[in-house]
């Protein structure tokens, strides 16, 4: 990696330019494939109004329980005759933002706590960690329900609640890694050069935190989608009649004996989404680690 | 920047320091680590890693620091650079007490000192290229005005430690242990320091590589008039590279002297047994040698023995040794001092 | 007993599968150990010295295997024994101690119980007797307060004490061969001196033959009757310790001895380092493996690998000395 000669080295803040991202995609097929997969998911969410063959809310009792591959209804219809494909496409508009926002809340909240806690140590660490322990003491879903109950039901509050549940996970993870890194001699070496704490954190701690964080993000994105489904089922998340994958599974579950696709189709949508995120996380972790580069 | 350096220089002369004085003067240095336990992390004891050390490091010399694991030699090295925060005492660098500097002033002073580590694998950030690793010090102290200057300096540093300039874009894992240690040395040189703490710089390397690194350190010292604090557990290496040697035992310096005298006439029984414990690669000599085999293990720095800390393993210990601790100048032959009431003759 | 040597290692080849190929970790190693003697194996990391020991014990890691060669111990061919038969020999006839005493004892069992384990397995004694025997062994290897120490857990032992406990365990069945793989590398010098003294005493008092594997030439000088020098999976020099140290006949040994600082050196002379790095074991050069670093190399060295042949008082794998030339400073410098 060479620095453009024109730039004053000492004041050069960003080195991973968009060009670097393109290079990454070109050099790593698995990253490229999973990146495309996730991109498609987002595209679906954005374009669902255009792509949907039907109104996802349009009830038509005449055509209820149509199996998949029925002409006009590729994925079939549900008990109220609503087109499943349209509902799945519209559902992506709910699930993906939830995953995104919830993970962001968890990552930034937890990451910050972990970083401060691990770096500062002492009494700060003690207090922050007891706070995190308190959060961790509640089962995740109960905590989410409590938060939503306090904030009021609705999709936005559900996202925040799920994000808060993820905070302790990130806080503990980041703190553990920071504590480990702090012991590493290269961190001491950087301090011996006269680096400021900010530089140490930005240049050395955060890049070395990427691996575990990326893996955790892909895992908790999956968790967030599932948690949102549960909250919606309880009436605390997406409000009826918003098409939502979780709700679709839950309502479809009652018809599992005769019309299993009502649950299978949204289930598959969740699986594919979770898998895409995991794949992206996994391949990014390998690609970003210089030790694994060929 | 030039004015800053000038200010710093003035600061030194203001403190009255001249190059004839020791570059580093350590006085009554103590670094204790609290041992915590329980839910509320109550302090239940203190590890006295460095427990009252006085030491001078003279301009241009190599002071060897030897001792067994846990004796505090590494902590002492890092305390002098203030990479761990000492509990008490003074570290005067060019006459200026580092422990009283504010964090900003301390960061600026770091330009004049550096450290080389034992583990060439842990001491380089795996996510940085060699150019980034070497360039970082330049960035921190604004030593390269342009990208080109930075690149040139990185090449120059690589050349100094005998590495190809083509290596600048590579990552640490692509190098062997010896090459990594050279990168670590180049990083230490980047800021153009006058004082380098070498913390066991060769003990993790293959035997056939060690001599390369020792010679490199010696060449660099000559070229840049460096002052070294050379920390190691291997007395034969320390004796080879050092002008003077300080021997540490459980947080204390127990003997300090010119390297030759220490080997020929050790005064402290611990130094004597340390010397006799080092195998010499000469079968005829080795079989004839008389050995002092110490009993027991190194005392715990958590709860050191009363009086002389070595008395629990010492073959010359008398009741007096348990009562009061012998100060370092108990044996005082000018340049050769030892903390012992019953020194070896 | 009708065997010529206690242990005969005959042309052993052991390979290790690694990510980017096969490492010929041991590549045609042969030597003999007689009852009561101490043989040193020196080499750097990756030279194959530990793999040789593990091949004798048939304890190679899963990725490794002995592909060729024969190990004969007291007339029995170890390389042909079943796993059960080998197990019986490992615990009783040949004992092995390792570099890291911190991880070689199980932290959840009392030391006495662990040290007595070979006796329970191989001599079928009961637990009480085995622990009493362990206390006796502790005394022999110089662990004070033996009867109290056997009831303690490993974390209450220092590194030196653990290594003593490991030696006690190795000795419990009175083996005729002890293989010590870098037994003092993880220890401080004064503790190293204690352990070496213990090994010397045991060798003298019980006549246990010892294979001492180390990278420390000083340790070999003080401990070993004969020495084998390994480089890149091969034996490059072999002979009586005095001969090898006084007059090395392989350039690697010669350079190594000149590159290490000596405590008894009078004046400060710059060390004479060996150029380059230890070889990449996956991509070894043709010919003699030391050629790229060798100050004496002649064109033939890079083309053809020499055999291990007698040169004056010892064996050496070197074209130069085999042709009658001597290694000296002027040539090498």
Closest residue of chain B to A127, computed from CA coordinates: B40
CA distance C222 to C220: 5
Q: What is the pLDDT of residues A37-82, one digit of tens each?
A: 889 988 988 998 888 888 888 888 888 888 888 888 888 888 888 8
With 60 as the cut, is the pLDDT of residue A17 above it?
A: no
Q: Give B105→chain C minimum CA distance, Å.
A: 39
Q: Which domain holds residue A131?
A: 23-292
A1 is a domain residue: no
Q: Give the pLDDT confidence of A79-92 residue by residue, as tens digits.
A: 888 888 999 999 88
Of B40, B118, B144, the CB nearest to A10: B144
Interface of B with A in 94-113 (CB under 8 A): 106-111, 113
Res C96 pLDDT > 80: yes
pLDDT above 50: residue A239: yes
CB B239 within 8 Å of CB B259: yes
Residues of chain B in contact with residue A185, where contact means CB-CB under 8 angstroms, are 117-119, 122-123
Contact B117 A1 (CB under 8 A): no
Q: Is there a domain that residue A11 lies in?
A: no
Nearest Cα of chain A lies from the Cα of B109 at a distance, in angstroms, of: 8
Q: Domain C7-230 is classified in which CATH homologous superfamily?
A: P-loop containing nucleotide triphosphate hydrolases (3.40.50.300)
Tell me what pLDDT residue B259 has: 93
What residues of chain A, 228 to 247, have a C-beta less than 8 Å from chain B? none
Q: A77: domain CATH number?
A: 1.10.3720.10
List the single residue in A2, A189, A204 with the smallest CB-CB distance to B123. Answer: A189
Q: Backbone phi, then psi, for B269, in 5-degree steps? A: -55, -30
Chain A residues within an 8 Å CB radius of B126 = 208, 289-291
In a domain, B325, yes or no: yes
For position A62, what pLDDT does the model report?
Answer: 84
DSSP state, residue C228: E
Work out the angle between the directed axes of helices C159-171 and C127-140 (0-180°, nearest 10): 120
Mean pLDDT to the nearest integer, C287-296:
94
Domain count, chain A: 1
Q: Where in chain C is the domain with CATH 3.40.50.300?
A: 7-230
B-C CB pairs within 8 A amount to 141
Is A18 within a domain?
no
- CB < 8 Å from B in window 234-293 of C: 241-242, 245-246, 255-257, 259-265, 268, 270-275, 277-278, 293
Closest-CA distance, B167 to chain C, in angstroms, reads: 16
Whether residue C44 and residue B208 make contact (CB cut-off 8 A), yes or no, is: yes
Residue B344 falls within a domain, yes or no?
A: yes
Domain-embedded: residue A148: yes
Q: Is residue A12 part of a domain?
A: no
Q: What is the mean pLDDT of chain A?
A: 83
Q: Is the peptide bond before B27 cis (omega within 30 degrees of 0)?
A: no
Q: Is residue A285 assigned to a domain? A: yes
Q: Considering the domain boundaries, does residue B322 fall inside one?
A: yes
Cα(B264)–Cα(B270) distance, rounded to whole angstroms? 14
In this structure, the strands spanning B62-66 and B227-232 are parallel
Q: Give percent of chain A with pLDDT exceeding 90.
A: 21
In a domain, residue B199? The reply is no
In this prediction, residue A6 carries a pLDDT of: 30
Residue B153 in domain: no
Dist. CA A109–CA A159, nearest whole Å:
13
User: By the 8 A CB rule, do B312 and B305 touch?
Assistant: yes
Q: What are the DSSP calls for A96-133, one per residue? A: HHHHHHHHHHHHHHHHHHHHHHHHH-HHHHHHHHHHHH
Q: Which two three-digit tokens encode residue C190?
A: 């004064």
Judge whether B278 and B232 are in contact, CB under 8 Å. no
CA distance B262 to C275: 31
Pairing of strands B195-199, B227-232: parallel
Assigned domain for B38 exists: no
Give the predicted TM-score (pTM) of the model.
Answer: 0.84
* pLDDT band at residue A293 under the 50/70/90 scheme: low
Closest CA to B133 of B109, B118, B150, B111: B150
Instruction: Please tell me the distance from the alpha carbon of residue C137 to that of residue C184, in angstroms, as a whole number.
Output: 20
Q: Name every chain A residue with its beta carbon within 8 A of the beta carbon of B141.
A: 193-194
pLDDT at A7: 29
Return the CA Rg of chain B. 21
Six token digits for residue B330: 């108990």
Proportion of chain C above pLDDT 90, given as a percent: 63
CA gap A222, A10 in Å, rounded:
41
Q: How many CB atoms are closer than 10 A to CB B235?
A: 25
Which structure tokens are listed for C294?
């060798």
Check: complex ipTM more than 0.90: no
Q: Give C148 to chain B, closest Cα distance, Å.
A: 16
Token output for A207: 């890049």
Confidence (pLDDT) at C104: 82
Residue B81 forms part of a structural domain: no
Q: pLDDT tens for chain B, 345 residues: list them.
A: 444 444 444 444 456 788 889 999 999 999 999 888 776 778 888 999 999 999 999 999 999 999 988 899 999 999 999 999 999 999 999 999 999 999 999 999 999 999 999 988 889 999 899 999 999 999 999 998 899 999 999 999 999 999 999 999 999 988 988 999 999 999 999 999 999 999 999 988 988 899 999 999 999 999 999 999 999 988 899 999 999 999 999 999 999 999 999 999 999 999 999 999 989 899 998 888 888 888 888 888 888 999 999 999 999 999 999 999 999 999 999 899 999 999 998
Compute the nearest-CA separation of B34 from chain C (Å): 21
Query: What residue numbers bound the domain in which B312 lies?
Result: 250-258+268-345
List Cα–Cα distances, B161 to B181, B223, C39, in angstroms.
9, 12, 39
Q: How far is CA C22 from CA A248, A276, B175, C65, C128, in A?
A: 54, 36, 20, 11, 48
Give chain C positions within 8 Å (CB) of B294.
190, 193-194
* C contact test, residue of B279, B293, B294, B295 with most C CBs within 10 A: B279
Q: What are phi and psi of A238, to 5 degrees?
A: -60, 130
- Pairwise CB contact (< 8 Å): B169 & A1: yes
Domain for residue A125, yes or no? yes
In which band, very low, low, confident or very high, does the pLDDT at A20 lie, cut at 50, 70 and 90? Answer: low
Q: Do B124 and A194 touch (CB under 8 A)?
A: no
């Amino acid at each position: 990696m060479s620095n453009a000669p024109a730039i004053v080295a000492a004041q050069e803040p960003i080195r991973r330019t968009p060009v670097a991202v393109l290079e990454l995609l070109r050099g790593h097929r698995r990253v490229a494939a999973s990146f495309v997969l996730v991109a498609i998911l987002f595209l679906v969410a954005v374009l669902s109004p255009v792509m949907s063959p039907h109104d996802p809310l349009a009830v038509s009792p005449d055509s209820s329980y149509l199996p998949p591959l029925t002409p006009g209804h590729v994925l079939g219809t549900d008990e109220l005759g609503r087109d499943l494909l349209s509902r799945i496409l519209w559902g992506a508009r709910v699930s993906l933002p939830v995953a995104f926002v919830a993970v962001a809340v968890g990552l930034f909240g937890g990451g910050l706590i972990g970083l401060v806690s691990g770096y500062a140590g002492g009494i700060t660490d003690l207090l922050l960690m007891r706070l995190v322990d308190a959060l961790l003491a509640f089962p995740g879903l109960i905590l989410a329900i409590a938060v939503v109950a306090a904030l009021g039901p609705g999709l936005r509050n559900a996202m925040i609640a799920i994000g808060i549940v993820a905070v302790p996970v990130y806080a503990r993870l980041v703190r553990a890694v920071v504590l480990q890194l702090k012991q590493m001699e290269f961190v001491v070496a950087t301090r011996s050069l006269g680096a400021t704490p900010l530089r140490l954190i930005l240049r050395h701690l955060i890049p070395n935190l990427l691996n575990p964080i990326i893996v955790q993000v892909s895992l908790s994105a999956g968790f967030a989608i599932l948690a949102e489904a549960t909250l919606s089922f309880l009436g605390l998340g997406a409000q009826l009649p918003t098409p939502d994958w979780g709700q679709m599974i839950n309502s479809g579950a009652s018809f599992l004996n005769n019309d299993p696709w009502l649950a299978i189709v949204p289930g598959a949508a969740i699986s594919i989404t979770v898998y895409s995120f995991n794949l992206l996380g996994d391949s990014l972790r390998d690609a970003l680690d210089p030790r694994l580069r060929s | 920047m030039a004015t800053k350096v000038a200010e710093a220089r003035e600061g030194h002369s203001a403190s009255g320091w001249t190059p004839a004085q020791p570059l580093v003067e350590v006085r009554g240095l103590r670094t204790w680590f609290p041992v915590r336990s329980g839910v509320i992390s109550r302090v239940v004891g203190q590890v006295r890693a460095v427990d009252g050390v006085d030491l001078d490091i003279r301009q241009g010399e190599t002071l060897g620091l030897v001792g067994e694991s846990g004796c505090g030699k590494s902590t002492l090295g890092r305390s002098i650079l203030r990479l761990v925060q000492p509990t008490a005492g003074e570290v005067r660098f060019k006459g200026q007490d580092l422990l009283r500097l504010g964090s900003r002033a301390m960061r600026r002073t770091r330009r004049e000192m550096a450290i080389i580590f034992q583990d060439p694998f842990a001491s380089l950030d795996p996510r940085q290229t060699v150019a980034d690793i070497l360039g970082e010090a330049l960035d921190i102290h604004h030593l390269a005005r342009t990208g080109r200057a930075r690149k040139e300096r990185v090449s120059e540093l690589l050349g100094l430690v005998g590495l190809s300039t083509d290596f600048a874009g590579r990552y640490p894992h692509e190098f062997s242990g010896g090459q990594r240690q050279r990168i670590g040395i180049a990083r230490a040189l980047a800021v153009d320091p006058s004082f380098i703490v070498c913390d066991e710089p060769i003990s993790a390397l293959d035997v056939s590589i060690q001599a390369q690194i020792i010679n490199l350190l010696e060449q660099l010292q000559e070229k840049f008039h460096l002052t070294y604090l050379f920390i190691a557990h291997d007395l034969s290496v320390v004796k080879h590279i050092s002008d003077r040697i300080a021997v540490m035992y459980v947080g204390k310096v127990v003997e300090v002297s010119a390297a030759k005298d220490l080997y020929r006439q050790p005064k402290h029984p611990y130094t004597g047994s340390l010397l006799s414990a080092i195998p010499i690669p000469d079968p005829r000599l080795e079989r004839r040698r008389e050995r002092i085999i110490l009993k027991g293990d190194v005392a715990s720095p958590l709860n050191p023995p009363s009086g002389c800390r070595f008395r629990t393993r010492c073959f010359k210990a008398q009741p007096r040794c348990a009562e009061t601790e012998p100060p370092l100048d108990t044996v005082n032959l000018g340049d050769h001092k030892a903390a012992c009431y019953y020194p070896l003759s | 007993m009708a065997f010529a040597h206690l242990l005969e290692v005959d042309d052993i080849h052991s390979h290790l599968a690694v990510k980017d190929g096969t490492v010929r970790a041991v590549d045609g190693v042969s030597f003999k150990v007689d009852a009561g003697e101490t043989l040193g194996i020196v080499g750097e990391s990756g030279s194959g010295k530990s793999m040789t020991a593990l091949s004798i014990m048939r304890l190679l890691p899963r990725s490794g295997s002995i592909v060729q060669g024969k190990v004969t111990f007291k007339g029995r061919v170890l390389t042909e024994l079943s796993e059960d038969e080998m197990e019986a020999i490992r615990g009783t006839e040949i004992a092995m101690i390792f570099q890291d005493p911190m991880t070689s004892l199980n932290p959840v069992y009392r030391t006495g119980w662990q040290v007595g384990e070979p006796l329970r397995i191989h001599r079928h004694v009961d637990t009480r007797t085995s622990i009493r025997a362990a206390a006796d062994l502790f005394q022999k290897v110089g662990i004070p307060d033996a009867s109290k120490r056997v009831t303690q857990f490993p974390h209450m032992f220092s590194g030196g004490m653990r290594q003593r406990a490991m030696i006690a365990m190795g000795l419990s069945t009175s083996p005729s061969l002890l293989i010590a793989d870098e037994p003092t590398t993880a220890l401080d010098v004064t503790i190293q001196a204690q352990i070496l003294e213990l090994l010397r005493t045991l060798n003298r008092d019980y006549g246990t033959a010892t294979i001492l594997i180390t990278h420390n030439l000083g340790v070999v000088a003080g401990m070993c009757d004969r020495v084998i020098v390994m480089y890149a999976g091969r034996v490059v020099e072999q002979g009586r310790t005095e001969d090898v140290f006084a007059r090395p006949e392989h350039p690697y040994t010669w350079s190594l001895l000149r590159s290490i600082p000596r405590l008894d050196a009078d004046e400060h002379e710059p060390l004479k380092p060996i150029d380059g790095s230890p070889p990449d074991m996956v991509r070894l050069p043709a010919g003699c493996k030391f050629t790229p670093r060798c100050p004496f190399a002649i064109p033939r060295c890079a083309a053809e690998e020499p055999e291990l042949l007698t040169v004056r008082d010892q064996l050496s794998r070197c074209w130069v000395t085999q042709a009658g030339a001597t290694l000296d400073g002027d040539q090498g410098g």
